[in-house]
Amino acid sequence: MITSEVKNMAFGNSGIYQITVMGDLDISWSSRLSGMQISLDKRIDGKDVYSLVGKLKDQAELIGIINTLYDLHLSLIEVKTH
């Protein structure tokens, strides 16, 4: 089922996103990641899992963050919109 929140999502609209990654991420890198709040969630098999949450202006900004996380060699676990 598609919720009304998803129906109102558009490529150029802002939204609140939560991105979950595994690897070594410094919390001070928030400014490099569009000011997203970074928090350590848990450890899985000895690796840190971080949650990044923030409002992004559009999906282009989201892709930019995902590309930065890729460049940092972090494993992408999940992307959610709120």
Q: Tokens 């996103």 map to which residue?
A: 17
Question: pLDDT tens, 3-15?
Answer: 445 555 566 678 9
Put simply, whether the predicted model's pTM sits higher than 0.85 gets the answer no
Give the pLDDT score at 42: 87
Go through the domains of the chain in sequence order and give each one's CATH number: 4-81 (3.30.70)
Question: pLDDT tens, 43-77?
Answer: 888 899 999 999 999 999 999 999 999 999 999 99
Strand boundaries in the chain, DSSP class E: 15-22, 37-44, 47-56, 75-81
Give the pLDDT score at 75: 96
Going by C-beta distance under 8 Å and a sequence separation of 6 or more, which residues neighbour residue 33? Answer: 52, 54, 65, 68, 69
